Amino acid sequence: MNKPIHVVGAVIVENGKILCAQRGDTQAQPYKWEFPGGKIEKGETPQEALKREIQEEMNCKVEVGALIETTVHEYDFGIVHLTTFYCTLLAGQPTLTEHAAIRWLAADELGELDWAAADVPAVEKIQLQALSN
């Protein structure tokens, strides 16, 4: 039985654009796009984990806002429980440390990327919310 993996993703919005990050070639799901983030450590809230992960992965600080979606997806390496939140940048600009590439896209452009399966429901929800605004 695959083990559960609890992770968080940051939907960082700046100037109407959303930060998208492409996984590196040595990671699971190589070259798939995702919202940056990572594993929730023991004793952390999802929001605390997200702040830490973005600092570690992107060398910037974020404020965590509203919850977007929680998705459960079974991969061959485990069952990913992904919780995504809207975030705003507080300090610094995202830089590549673990990802192959980053792009800033409008909500209606998100569908152009090849997303990791666990991120797809959040992408769809963000696009629906953008259409209703």
Per-residue pLDDT tens digits for 117-129: 999 999 999 999 8
Over residues 33-78, the pLDDT tens digits come to 999 999 999 999 999 999 999 999 999 999 999 999 999 999 888 8
**CA angle, 46 then 67 then 8, to 5°:** 35
CA distances from 38 to 46, 57, 90 (A): 10, 9, 19
**CATH code, domain with 74:** 3.90.79.10
**What domain range is 110 assigned to?**
4-132
State the total domains in the chain: 1
**pLDDT (0 to 100) of residue 132:** 81
**pLDDT (0 to 100) of residue 27:** 82
